[in-house]
Amino acid sequence: MTNSAEAFADPHQLAAAIKRRGRELGFDLVGIAPAAPSAYRDYLRQWLDDGQGGAMQYLSSRFDERTDVCTYVPGAASVICVAMNYHTRLEDAPASPSSGRIARYALGEDYHELIKQRLHALADWLRSIRPGAQTRSAIDTAPVMEKELAARAGVGWLGKNTCLINEDIGSWLLLGEIITTIHLPADQPGIDRCGTCRRCLDACPTGAITAPYQLDARRCISYLTIEHRGEIAPELQSQTGDWLYGCDICQDVCPWNSKAIESTDPAVQPRFPTGTLDARAVLAWTDDDYRRTLRRSAMKRVKLPQLKRNATIVLNNSQGG
């Protein structure tokens, strides 16, 4: 591939080249969105003011940047949105009352480092073609509305379960962005294909999906097992079932995930082949066990005392109490 500026003087040629290079680097989907303010600014403000974000105060701390990518990166013109498929096959295992399930996204290598490395490689390549252009790579730790941006870029659509859904890969998507001052032609936004389906709403055991496209994080099992640091309310404990870390229920029941393509990327293959850990073993872990077992894992978002809290709930639920 020629990396000269002349070869990609036409913005459409450059956009096509960016997508090719992104796929070469391991991204399954690449789209381009305009660097425009969020359409959900008022909704997010009200959602936070209502307390539905729970303890996730970081969502408020950089609100203006989060809701306007040009505030986060002055001079931004375009956002290159990428997605990686993390859907992998899990091994069947004999039923065990002490098995605690783990959300699929956390079963492979820590996606933060993985995506950042690939984004930086794509950004470096882009700047080699357009010297002087500014780029800023972002993942879910940055103040960006990444699902909204990805939907604008045609990577998928925002589903009723508030996940981004692609009609080929489903919602098993890890997202990343490169915000740049380069003006690029935007892709057509994703088309909502949820239709009249409400399986995700009906399947959520805690009622966290309060209406189509609306989520009360305080009731979400993923929030409760990962972001919530204190004690979990007793009525919610019984509804978290056997989830040790995160939850995939609203994705597991989604029809768009029924024929999802399996990823062959070694980095996302599950370190725990059954997608579970024994809750009794977790309760016995030392700090060294925790560090060794979860080395380079996104599960380290949860510290050991919190993970043991979750393990205790899994065991209590398995015993009917």
Q: Rounded mean pLDDT of 275-292? A: 97
Amino acid found at 213: Y
Q: What is the DSSP letter of 243?
A: E
What are residue 192's DSSP bridge partners? none
Evaluate whether 237 touches 313 at the Cβ level (below 8 Å).
yes
> What pLDDT was estimated at residue 141?
93
Distance CA 268, CA 111 (A): 8
Helix (H) or strand (E) holding 100: strand 99-102
On the question of pLDDT at 96 being above 90, the answer is no
Distance CA 276, CA 299 (A): 12
Q: Rounded mean pLDDT of 299-316? A: 97
Structure tokens given for 120: 């930086």
Active-site annotation holds for 140: yes
Evaluate whether 260 touches 87 at the Cβ level (below 8 Å).
yes
Catalytic residue among 140, 192, 265, 278: 140
Three-state DSSP at 20 gives helix
> What are the extents of the domains in the chain?
6-88+109-180, 199-318
On the question of pLDDT at 251 being above 90, the answer is yes
Between 55 and 6, name the one with better pLDDT: 55
Within a 13 Å sphere around the CA of 101, how many CA atoms are in the beta-carbon half?
A: 21
User: What is the Cα Rg of the chain in Å?
Assistant: 20
> What pLDDT was estimated at residue 321?
61
On the question of pLDDT at 93 being above 90, the answer is no
Three-state DSSP at 144 gives coil
CB atoms within 10 A of CB 177: 25
Distance CA 316, CA 303 (A): 20
Q: How far is CA 45 from the centre of its chain?
A: 21
> Given pLDDT bands bounded at 50, 70 and 90, which one contains residue 1?
very low
Distance CA 263, CA 267 (A): 10
